Amino acid sequence: MFQKTPLRYVAIAACSASVIIILTVIRFATIEVNLFPAPDSTFPWKPLYSADNIQGGDSSMVVHEDIYHLNFDFTLSRHYLYAYASFNLVFEDPSTPNILLDLTAYSTAKLRIRCKPQNELKFVFHLYEDNVSDFADVSSFRMAQSIFSCGESWQDIVIDLSQLNTPEWWLQIQGLNLSNQQNTLTKVREISLSSTNQSPVGVLSSVTVEELVLQGRNWTMIIVGIVSLVLIWLAFIMVIFRDALNNRSSTTYQEIAHRQLNVDSKREREIAQLLDYLLSNYSDAELSLEGSASVLGINRTKINELLKERTGQTFSGFLNKLRLTEAARL
């Protein structure tokens, strides 16, 4: 026979399970992908960097490190109207040259970065645009960007990926409406870190990125955790409810048994009282059903019922039997 588990132990088990689930969700609900070091990145990529010199300008760019972290210098031309320098992380590997990544699971990008001198840079996702983009021309990919300031001290820049915008000039070149700002990260070709129109010109600019991390939420883990917590506490409530019902039923059965015992005990006393009275007074010629009922305080019908139950005879039959038995003995 199994013993009933005390309710406090059930409560302790529910609380312990809840704590474990919450800690597990906290640990695994956040997903992160660090693109550096490059060989350890979840998403394979190759470096590609360029400046306006390929378009007739005279800006220059030198990359010192792009494996374990990113460090590059650039000097923007004073003489070229559209001077720029850009470092691109192109998602591909030898077996799959034209990768398009779905990065919708990620909500922010974090860069640990410093610049010398102070700089204004842009962080860009290059997105495949149906009926527009051509893998041979990176400029045909939609630009979803965020611009930030970068100083000479290390700082963490967190970019909200839901607030990226596409520059007007790109939309105009592609013949798209300027209101077309639906920048969903379902087909990401590459990520770039580039100069802006407010970057210093004619001076050497240095940029170092120690970390580039994509961050998001594992909603499957979160939902499973919430459902598990709900089920655990629903089960706990059911245990409490069942325990309350069992206690109530037990109390009810005890009350019924107690009342039955009281009833049975009273009936037995009445029978004993009746039999004792008749055995003591059967020789009295005046003994009658009415008189017995008056003396004992038991109505006539019940006297017959009690005698019928115990002896199988009515008052008169039992009394006559007593008298005949005594007469035969004498």
β-bridge pairing 119-127 and 142-150: antiparallel
Higher pLDDT, 89 or 306: 89
Whether 167 maps to a domain, the answer reads yes
- Any idea what the CATH number is for the domain that residue 293 is in? 1.10.10
Q: Within this chain, do residues 205 and 311 fall inside the same structural domain, yes or no? A: no
Q: What is the CATH number of the domain that holds 142?
A: 2.60.120.430
**Model pTM score:** 0.64
Chain centroid, CA 325 distance in Å: 87
| Residue with tokens 């070229």, as numbered in its chain | 80
pLDDT beyond 80 at 1: no
Assigned domain for 6 exists: no
pLDDT band, residue 248 (cuts 50/70/90): low
13 domain-assigned: no
Determine the pLDDT at residue 49: 93
Q: Is a pLDDT exceeding 50 seen at residue 256?
A: no
Residue 66 sits in the same domain as residue 186: yes
Residue 58 sits in the same domain as residue 192: yes
Residue 48 lies in a domain: yes
Is residue 295 in a domain? Answer: yes
Q: Kindly state whether residue 208 falls inside one of the protein's structural domains.
A: yes
Identify the band that residue 264 occupies on the pLDDT scale cut at 50, 70 and 90. low
Whether 127 contacts 115, CB under 8 Å: no
Structural domains of the chain, count = 2
Q: Do residue 182 and residue 46 come from a single domain?
A: yes
Q: E strands, the chain, where? A: 30-34, 45-51, 60-65, 70-75, 85-91, 106-116, 119-127, 142-150, 155-160, 188-195, 204-217
Same domain, 139 and 211: yes
Residue range(s) defining the domain that contains residue 160:
42-215
Matching residue, tokens 């474990």? 20
